[in-house]
Amino acid sequence: MMGEQKNSSKKTSKPAFSNVAVLLVALDIITIAISYYVGLWARFDFSFAHISREYITHTSRYIAVVIVYSIIIYFIAKLYHSIWRYASINEALRVIYSYVVIAILNLCINMIPDLRIPRGVILIGFILSMFFCVVIRFSYRMLRYVRHKRDNAPVNNIVENIMIIGAGQATREILKDITFSKRTDLNVCVIIDDNEKMWGHYLEGIKIAGGREAIPTLVEKYDIHRIIFSIPSALPHEKREILNICKDTGVHIQTVPGMFQIIDGEVNLSSLKDVDVTDLLGRSEIKINMTEVMETISGKVIMVTGGGGSIGSELCRQIAHARPKQLIIFDVYENNAYAIQQELVREYGNTLDLITLIGSVRNTNRVNYILKTYKPDMVFHAAAHKHVPLMEDSPNEAIKNNVMGTYKMAHAAWKNGVKRFLLISTDKAVNPTNIMGASKRLCEMVVQMMSRQHPETIFMAVRFGNVLGSNGSVIPLFKKQIAKGGPVTVTDKNIIRYFMTIPEAVSLVLQASYYAKGGEIFVLDMGKPVRIDDLARNLIMLSGFTPDEDIQIVYTGLRPGEKLFEELLMDEEGMKKTDNNLIYIGHPIEMDDNLFRKQLELLNEESKQESNNIKKIVSEIVPTYTPAAD
């Protein structure tokens, strides 16, 4: 049936096109004749009485010949093949080329005695026929535009005034899309561009009124409701500066997609996205050497534990892009694992050898069976409990999952010949005040112990700050609170954190996996820390509200185990640069591995017994851990 429907649609489309072509031919014949007869009429002072029968006969013969070769030229120039509802400069150029040829032929046939007519008639007829040719073909587009404006007039005369920043190609595409879309409730009032030479000029009829300094004034002058940032090639610091100016206006802000979408012609109203608070961070995105990453990943069997989580799923995406021999997703939560599995299947189909397995890193037999069966070359260990307040109330679970889970995975990796094992860690492991951070510090100690005792497997850890947009991070929480009308809750006005995006965090992990020699803890230079209070206020303003007026901010006090600021390195670890200037190495700290192994056994037994002494025991193993008072 589908095939029949497709065939029938093709059959019905042909006559529709032919009818249009026939109509155009008829109109062209009529208008060409009218044009030259008008030229004859004008030549004799607009009086038919003064025109002799001989002139009328010669002119009629001339017109007949002109009609024949004009129609032929129109066909050759494909003036009967274009879709005139989308007529543009290309169609106009084809009309001009056609009339250059017609002009030459007009002069040639006027040399034939039986066809000779006054040159004034030829000139007027030529100009009028070209005018009619253009009008006939472009009138449909104009009528369509007028009809759309009439039929889709804004309800209750409500119009959204728009300011566009940037006077480049992306803005042209947006203006074109607005002009010929059905959205007549959008009114582009003004364009902003820092190039002073453009000020006072017009782009598609819209005035370029000034640079970024004029944004607040012009927003008020034109009663702007939406600002579109339309400079896809802007450097990160320039984009931040402009967006911060826009943010303070309290107007809804959107931005165009990146340069690749511009090249592919994907810039339109539907491709605009809301400006996110990540656009306002004080640091450019981390860049990695993809050649080194490909060397680490390509052609190898890679396993990601916690592969359905925020970091784990992004690891799977970037690893899949690096063309591994096989990718194994391992997660205890089936819904998360299924979601990333289906995403990768849609993206790569049969070109990616993908295995998705359910299980816990706490299950020794399950872990050993998987590693023995699939023999991964590298394991990215992202499975962990990470919520600070929840782990404060369930400290034994932090030990069971984070510490013992890491130990079991690392031991199984060595036992089954895994070449590289990478632990995802956190800046909360440095001088921890909560059990989650202390458990991650213990995980780092496990990795460094395994590196010393089993150098045939390269063990390493990557430590980074808070990840924007991950499950449980502050931004999704703030967005939900803003959507409900507030209040937005911040623990302390002075609390600060280092931030990075999920792709940045994963880029660091992949790059570090190439640099590792064994036992390192890699740290990212994340620039300046961000005040959480500023983050909340920026997000409120980007949502079009005013902090403390439209949306209240409530300070709830530090939660158990929470610090005002996080460090990235302990004093004794030191700092060493890598070839990537944004990635540093913390040196391993000396420790008694035999004693530590015994302490791990004690932790394991105490956590199983649901002991109330787990925090005390951890503080004895991790000297830098100072538990917050319960």
Residues that are catalytic: 428
Q: Are 380 and 320 in contact (CB under 8 A)?
A: no
CA distance 506 to 207: 43
Instruction: Kindly tell me the burial class for residue 411, based on how many C-beta atoms sit within 10 Å of its own C-beta (0-12, 13-18, 19 or more).
Output: middle
CA distance 526 to 464: 8
What separation in angstroms does the CA of 313 have from each of 294, 307, 384? Answer: 18, 5, 14
Q: Are 540 and 547 in contact (CB under 8 A)?
A: yes
> Which stretches of 45-118 are DSSP H helices?
53-76, 89-109
Q: Show Cβ contacts of residue 244 under 8 Å, excluding neighbours closer than 6 positions.
A: 280
List, in sequence order, every beta strand (DSSP E) within 511-579.
521-524, 530-531, 553-555, 576-577
Q: Closest by alpha carbon to 603, among 365, 395, 332, 383?
A: 395
CA distance 608 to 27: 90
Q: Show Cβ contacts of residue 495 under 8 Å, excluding neighbours closer than 6 positions.
A: 531, 532, 533, 558, 562, 564, 565
Instruction: Kindly tell me the burial class for residue 166, based on how many C-beta atoms sit within 10 Å of its own C-beta (0-12, 13-18, 19 or more).
Output: buried
DSSP 206: E
Strand partners, 597: none
Strand partners, 328: 303, 355
Encoded tokens for 143: 């009528």
Q: Are 518 and 449 in contact (CB under 8 A)?
A: no
Q: What is the dihedral of CA 15, 16, 18, 21, to 10 degrees?
A: 170
CA distance 584 to 588: 13
Strand partners, 190: 163
DSSP line for 236-249: HHHHHHHHHHHHTT
